[in-house]
Structure 1
Amino acid sequence: MKSILTHPGGAHKDDFLACSLMIARYGCEVIRREPSESDLEDCEVAVLDVGGEHDPEKMNFDHHQFDRDHPPTCALSLVLQFMGLYEDARQYCDWLETSEWLDTRGAVKTAQWLEVDRSAMAKLNSPIDITLLRRFAAQERHCTGEPVYEVMRMIGEDMIAFIEGMRERMLEIEAQSEVWELEPGFSALFLRRTEPLPAEPSAGLGRYIEMKQLGCVAMVYPDRRGEGYGLTRFNDDLRLDFTKISEWEDVHFAHKAGFVAKTTATDAERLQEMLVAAWCSDVSKS
């Protein structure tokens, strides 16, 4: 790949993130100008968010030619599809669909789709967004070693690593977990201890529950700081209150808000006993 080409003028998250992914993959310079016919024909020039053509074989990734009733699809969507990451990104990156809507439908329709007031959209911006997009738009070329370019490389690398990592994590959880159906009428996801432990054993458990539509209200996972387990409620379901087991001799921590506890226990029956004891059948779940 010789270069990554995108449109001049104002920059948006769509073209910024699409370029970030391409930088992470190919490490070549970014040029911000209108493409020529030779650019569009050159498969060693990736043309993003401009050019009026979607042709991955020629490395052209524009969406502006799509019909107005086309599902919300932006240049970032097309680059993710090209990299084989799109379906996983839609599952694991909650922000992606909103970004697609913003870029293709605008703030008003996106707010309606999200069922929030239009003013909420501006309240989600931050100085990070503003500065990075402004600095990206301010130069015609971005090259290796420059601050904005290297930040974009990091963003692209982290996006790819997160998406691929979440795919692997879901497979790990599927292989090492089981659902406990408990007598009061609720279920919990239990993750077995493995060696070595993941850096954050609870990572991805909530996503797995949602993806598999398990209906669990609790998660039990190895404690990374000890030999025991952590117990936490899923989606902050208030029908579980772990302060009810705070005085148990093998519970060394229970948050005063009741949403998490840590225990030295490792026996499945003992852990299930703790969950049942923490259950509050007469409390609303939210």
Structure 2
Amino acid sequence: MTFSRILTHPGGSHKDEFLACCLLLAGNPVPVVRREPVAEDLADPSVAVVDVGHEHAPERGNFDHHQFPKDHPPTCALSLVLQHLGVYEDAREFCDWLEPAEWFDTRGPIETAKWLGLPRETLFKLNSPIDTTLLRRFAASSELLPGEPLWEVMKWIGEDLLGYLKNLRERLDHIARVAEFWEIPTPQGSFKVLFMPRTEPMPEEPSSGLPRFIEGHPQGADVVGQVYPDRRGPGYGLSRHNDHPGLDFTRIGNCEDVHFAHARGFVAKTSASDPARLRELLAQAWIS
């Protein structure tokens, strides 16, 4: 479905309708109008009506949540647009900020703070001037047109968010096809790491997606480290997973084939590429 116009409510703006409009702009480079909708807007499938109108009818481009009952699971306009675009499940899995945003918009700061187990004041300490300025400028606008600075920034945000979801999903699917879980034996017992072999073409950042893959995999619960191709050379990078204290790569810093070991011990780079040698280095880095 394509739209000729995106319409959202006037007055104060919030993150949910702002980001919902950003996502729609990524595929619909059209004006954004901020006013109350009329019946003709709600009936016109070429007009996307966001966070206003008291109707959720994606087949007509209407994405409001305010008519949902108070005990409805936290769902905001952003949730509805993500669902419409078919990326909601990936967004919930990959965007850690999404669920708190849904809670904040539908439950308010007090309930959200309770749900997060945080003092209410902590939520406001996390506010950024970027958020404040973009939302304030958006609230002050009655119409945003292509070519205007804020409209262009919103389109970038939507494109980047959708690109992130698409690329990460593709990356995780690739990792699932080629990665291996290694069991590394030591005199004190064994430990598990994830090994990512070198492939062609090699990703720009070979370690990207590995932590999230581990956290979502049934075998990932006891993984303590990652091994991945070094993008700067023919060898491999070795790193802790979730900063696990069992690995200290300063222990292999003096090995001839290790050209970098961070002083804090959480990462190292080696010219070695033979799996047997990589396993040896991992075993040497293990703290009993």
| TM-score of the aligned structures, taking structure 1 as reference length | 0.97
- 2:239 equivalent among 232, 242, 249: 232
**C-alpha separation in 1, matches of 2:111 and 2:274:** 52
Q: Distance in 2 between matches of 1:223 and 1:115?
A: 39
Aligned residue type for 1:276: A
Counterpart pick for 2:143 among 138, 141, 144: 141
Residue type matched to 2:164 in 1? F
1:275 counterpart residue number: 282
| Cα deviation code 1:1-59 (max 9, x no counterpart) | 21000010011110000000011111110000110011000000000000000001110
Amino acid at match of 2:170: E
Residue number in structure 2 paired with 1:8: 10
Alignment of 1:193-232 (within 5 A): 193-213=198-218, 214-215=220-221, 216-232=223-239
Aligned counterparts of 2:121 and 2:284: Cα–Cα separation in 1 = 44
State the 4+ residue runs in structure 1 displaced beyond 2 angstroms.
none
Which digits, 9 at most, give the CA deviation of each residue in 1:87-122, with x for residues without a partner?
Answer: 011111111111111111111111111111111100
Find the counterpart in structure 1 of residue 260 from structure 2: 253
Supply the AA of the counterpart residue of 1:210: E
Residues 145-156 of structure 1 aligned to structure 2 (within 5 Å): 145-156=147-158
Q: Could you give the per-residue CA deviations for residues 110-148 of structure 1, whole angstroms, max 9, x where no partner exists?
A: 111111111110011011000000001111000000000
- The separation in 1 between residues aligned to 2:129 and 2:226, in whole angstroms, is 36
Name the amino acid aligned to 1:187.
K
Q: Superposition RMSD on alpha carbons, in Å?
A: 0.7
Secondary structure (helix, strand or coil) at the match of 1:157 reads: helix
Q: Does 1:244 align with 2:236?
A: no
User: How many Å apart are 1:269 and its aligned residue?
Assistant: 1.0
1:100-179 superposed matches below 5 A: 100-179=102-181
**How many residue pairs align between the two structures?**
281
Segments of 5+ residues of structure 2 without an aligned counterpart are: none
**Secondary structure of the corresponding residue to residue 156 of structure 2:** helix
* TM-score when normalising by structure 2: 0.96
**Given the alignment of the two structures, is residue 87 of structure 1 paired with residue 89 of structure 2, yes or no?**
yes
Structure 1: gaps of 5 or more residues: 282-286
Question: What residue in structure 1 maps to residue 71 of structure 2?
Answer: 69
| Corresponding residue number in structure 2 for 1:284 | none
Give the 3-state SS of the residue equivalent to 2:242 in structure 1: helix
**How much identity, in percent, do the aligned residues show?**
59
Alpha-carbon distance in 1 for matches of 2:280, 2:16? 49
Q: Partners of 1:175 and 1:219 in 2: how far apart?
A: 16
Q: Could you tell me how far apart the structure 2 residues matched to 1:199 and 1:107 are? A: 39
* Mean Cα deviation higher: 177-186 or 261-270: 177-186
Secondary structure of 1:94 counterpart: coil
Letter of the structure 2 residue corresponding to residue 70 of structure 1: H
Corresponding residue for 1:25? 27
Q: Quick one: which amino acid aligns to residue 47 of structure 2?
A: V
Structure 1 residue 185, shift from structure 2 partner: 2.4
In 2, Cα distance between the equivalents of 1:104 and 1:201? Answer: 38
Post-superposition shift, 1:176?
1.5
